[in-house]
Structure 1
Amino acid sequence: MKFDQLAQEAINELSTLQDFVRWAVSRMAEHEVYHGHGTDNPWDEALYLVAHALNLPWQLADNWRSSKLTRSERERVVDLLSQRIHEKVPTPYLTGEAWFCGKPYLVDERVLVPRSPIGELIQARFSPWLPGSAEPARILDLCTGSGCIGIACAHEFGNAQVELLDISFESLEVAEANIGMHGLDDRVFALQSDLFSAASGRYDIIVSNPPYVDADDMAELPKEYRHEPELALAAGDDGLDLVRIMLAEVREYLTDDGIFILEVGNSFPALQAAYPQLAFEWPEFEHGGHGVCVLRASDLDVLTEELTTGA
């Protein structure tokens, strides 16, 4: 039976909010929907989409789930679910919103969907690498995309000036909209930049979730990821095309007590193999995620010495 026929049956025969949540879960399983953009299971995603289509909060009390839908509401719900299931559009692109560090961000297909485990480090104020009483004056979010990482840092460190750098003018439009939505225009600034080209002076924290997907992983990405900008994902055969440039230059922009937080995902074995001289620290995450390293400014001095001596 074709999906269109099933969709029409759902509109004609289902009635309650819970009916459509259950129906969506079944169809997601049938069509092998991949959950990797803010949820890890079909139940949460189905509830979020159904609630959004009905202009309701997704944290619904149980008694709301038995509410009956009008025909126009049923059609609206099925249309949204069809885009998710049939076209494999990630849920945050359908709703225009993603949550990061407990706050909402505007998103669309100009930027990656926020999901970095770096958020856990921000909420821990980068402890133990940053002293508990430390109040960084300047923070740089390199390859910022939606701006969620830098903006979350601004929320956590209330006196810091934060710069958001990205090569994509389209992504910076989204970042600027998020700066405004979060009311941070006075100390968070978005700048177009080819990596560090627009950076100036030194920063206490530099954090980056750059493109790091290697060629093999790019070839096997689920269809959902094809809706995201390839510029923000692909990074050559080993995933380190941009990371190599960043590591060669980052020490110049760090204060002597500064830290560099870098996400490389599945490319972490390639990074360790390419830089055996660096003392990478790899945090473990309570809420999932991997491939994020922390380097202190002093750890990076070895690269500066190698460049100076030609070793």
Structure 2
Amino acid sequence: MFDQAQEQLKTLRDFMRFAVSRFNEADLYFGHGTDNAWDEAAYLLLHSLHLPLDRLEPFMDARLTSAERATVLNLIRRRIDERLPSSYLTNEAWLGDYRFYVDERVIVPRSHIAELLGDQLSPWLDDPWAVGRVLDLCTGSGCLAILAALAFPEATVDAVDLSPDALAVARRNVSDYALDSRVRLIQSDAFESIDGQRYDIIISNPPYVNAESMASLPQEYRREPELALASGDDGLDFTRVILREAAHHLTPNGILVVEIGNNREALEHAFPDTAFTWLDTAAGDDFVFLLRREDLPAGA
């Protein structure tokens, strides 16, 4: 089939139809930047042809060269055969207008905290220019640390991760944004290597997939590092560490912002006396909570 496609398909429209058909036929799972076969195909094809990612229609009837056809078909084949998220095929992921390098050493960035940083955590933060220190716990690719540095111009940011491989990816992204002097990368198991440090803001998109969900993850998610996904039976193991230790690392007026996936009900059941503030995001208000230092649970 792919050999026939190389010979018979000519235009971008032809290859879009072919890709969508093959993706649907293969029953791919979408969830790393797109949620359907059409958008996935459009992204992969436009990226591979070095075309603007938001300008598909003007190029639909453009004919591809033989080399371009081979490149496009190789991406389509790999997406199907290897079940790789498209971001691993292109080595890029986008959070809003910001592009980040990614590969299989890190999960594909998709945090709801990104949009909150775009608004400088308003209205929960009065003066973004007064923020002096930020901690990004479980930084992965470094994307949230970078967005925090851009959101708070006077702040230095500590970006912490247990994985040296993830930190290598983060280092590349930090350098790409010329933020080496403001973003410090630290290898640490949670707070272990930053003892005594205090921050005005702690943000974290930690592992939060529960054991039942881990057992049934689509293949595309299984291509991501398990270390960055799994967090015990109820998905809250790492969140408990954060809630237990964060008060020791926040300034008196500091705030904690944590993403927990679909675990709101489990979290509120585990901490019934904690008044979590749930932040509105494009996906709803069930995914990211905020706590001020004084509201953190005692003895968590």
> Cα deviation per residue 1:222-275 (whole Å; 9 max; x = unaligned)?
110011000000111111111112211100100111110111112222111111
The answer to whether the aligner puts 1:16 opposite 2:11 as a matched pair is: yes
Are the counterparts in 2 of residues 16 and 65 from structure 1 also a CA contact under 8 Å? yes
Deviations 1:83-118 (A, max 9, x none): 112221001100000011421101000001000111
- After superposition, what is the alpha-carbon deviation per residue over 1:15-73, rounded to whole angstroms, capped at 9, x for unaligned? 00121112111111111111110112222211111122223332236332211112222
Taking only the aligned residue pairs, the percentage that are identical comes to 48
RMSD: 1.5
Q: 8 Å contact 1:117–1:288 — kept in the other structure?
A: no
| TM-score for the superposition, normalised by structure 2 | 0.95
Taking structure 1 as reference, are residues 47 and 10 closer, same or farther at Cα in structure 2, changes over 3 Å only? same
Q: What are the equivalent positions in structure 2 for 1:87-102 lying under 5 Å apart? A: 87-102=82-97
Cα distance between partner residues in 2 of 1:139 and 1:98: 23
1:111 maps to 106
C-alpha distance in 2, partners of 1:132/1:120? 18
CA distance in 1, matches of 2:128, 2:76: 47
Match of 1:215 among 201, 211, 215: 211
SS of the counterpart of 2:20? helix
1:3 maps to what in 2?
none
- Give the aligned residue type for 2:32: H
Task: Please name the residue that 2:259 is paired with.
Answer: 263
Show the counterpart of 1:244: 240
1:289 and 1:27, CA in 2 relative to 1: closer, same or farther beyond 3 A? farther
For residues 84 and 224 of structure 1, the distance between their equivalents in structure 2, rounded to whole angstroms, comes to 9
Q: For the Cα contact (< 8 Å) 1:97–1:107, is it kept in 2?
A: yes
Is 1:296–2:289 an aligned residue pair? no
* Alpha-carbon shift at residue 8 of structure 1 (Å): 1.8
For residues 205 and 101 of structure 1, the distance between their equivalents in structure 2, rounded to whole angstroms, comes to: 22
Q: Which residue in 2 is equivalent to 1:274?
A: 270
Partner amino acid, structure 1, of 2:27: E
1:182 & 1:153 partners in 2: Cα distance?
A: 12
Rounded Cα–Cα distance in structure 2 between residues aligned with 1:43 and 1:110: 27
Residue 65 of structure 1 pairs with residue 65 of structure 2:
no
Contact 2:46–2:56 (CA under 8 A) maintained in structure 1 = no
Secondary structure of 1:66's partner? Answer: coil
Q: Indicate conservation of the 8 Å contact 2:128/2:151, yes or no.
A: no
Q: Aligned pair in 2 of structure 1 residues 50, 101: CA closer, same or farther (>3 Å)?
A: closer
Which secondary structure does the structure 1 equivalent of 2:245 belong to? helix
1:190 aligns to 2:185 (yes or no): yes
The residue aligned with 2:48 is 53
Is the partner of 1:151 in helix, strand or coil? helix
Task: Give TM-score, length-normalised by structure 1.
Answer: 0.92
Match of 1:233 in 2: 229
Aligned residue identity for 2:235: G
Measured after TM superposition, the shift of residue 287 of structure 1 is 5.0
Structure 1 alignment gaps of length 5 or more: 1-5
CA distance in 2, matches of 1:51, 1:133: 37
Distance in 2 separating the partners of 1:197 and 1:146: 20
Q: Choose which of 60, 70, 73 in structure 2 pairs with 1:75.
A: 70
Count, aligned residues: 299
Give the match for residue 176 of structure 1: 171
Contact persistence 2:279–2:285 (CA under 8 A): no
Q: How does 1:120-139 map to 2 (within 5 A)?
A: 120-132=115-127, 135-139=130-134
Cross-structure match for 1:159: 154
Contact 1:117 1:289 in 2 (8 A): no
Indicate yes or no: 2:10 matched with 1:37: no
